[in-house]
Amino acid sequence: MNGEVDVRPLNLASLASIRSFAAGIDGPVGVLINNAGTMTDKLQHTADGFELQFGINHLGHFALTNLLLNRITERVVTVSSTAHRSAQIDFDDLQWERRKYQPFGAYGQSKLANLLFTFELQRRLIAAGSPVIASSAHPGWASTGFRITSGNRLLDALAAVSTPVLAHGPEGGSLPTLLAAVGDVPGGSFIGPSRFGGVRGPAALTEPAAGAKAPAVASRLWEVSERLTNTHFPLISGPVMTDQATGDTSA
């Protein structure tokens, strides 16, 4: 990175670390990119007892955003995945305490949560009269060293062999996030590669699964996430009216 770069420790698997990091940011934040992610093939937990993938990929970013939001001036970008399309939010067992653990199912749930969080955040920003934009992006199939651990050995081995050949590199994978961060895109947008079903290619606006924009689910997930992280939307909001048919919002 050109210019002055300041590197600070932040462990998204620890609410204490997140609070410490946020407390150390004393100036304005132009753009927050929630890019951290993890994938695990067995049930693990964060320092606060959350299922690891849901805890890092969603709850950690949720807490960090709320703790920094009154200092953010331009955008919040949260990185999701096409894995959200086959996922659902199980409010009765978010932490996989009763179900048999499914690694890819847990990953998909966390990535669906990223999108629901983005759209609910955008609705709340509109209601608060904030100029900040919330958007989401996905990198497509990117060869970055991130290891796919679905729990299926054959699938994981196939992914390991084919990724270097078929996926685009880190530069290509970063383009959707870059467009979401600095491009001319609307609030609540979802951006990803535009070719081969979202696998690779130039970054462009894309449409998420319908369930990722469900207002009632997004609102419920927000309330649950507030309770779990003990963090809250810091801006004063007016009522948000949602057209249940289209998902359009107005303050």
What is the bridge-based pairing of β-strands 72-79 and 133-137? parallel
Q: Catalytic site residues?
A: 107
- Name residue 82's amino acid: T
Instruction: Give ∠ CA 60-114-251 in degrees, rounded to 5.
Output: 105
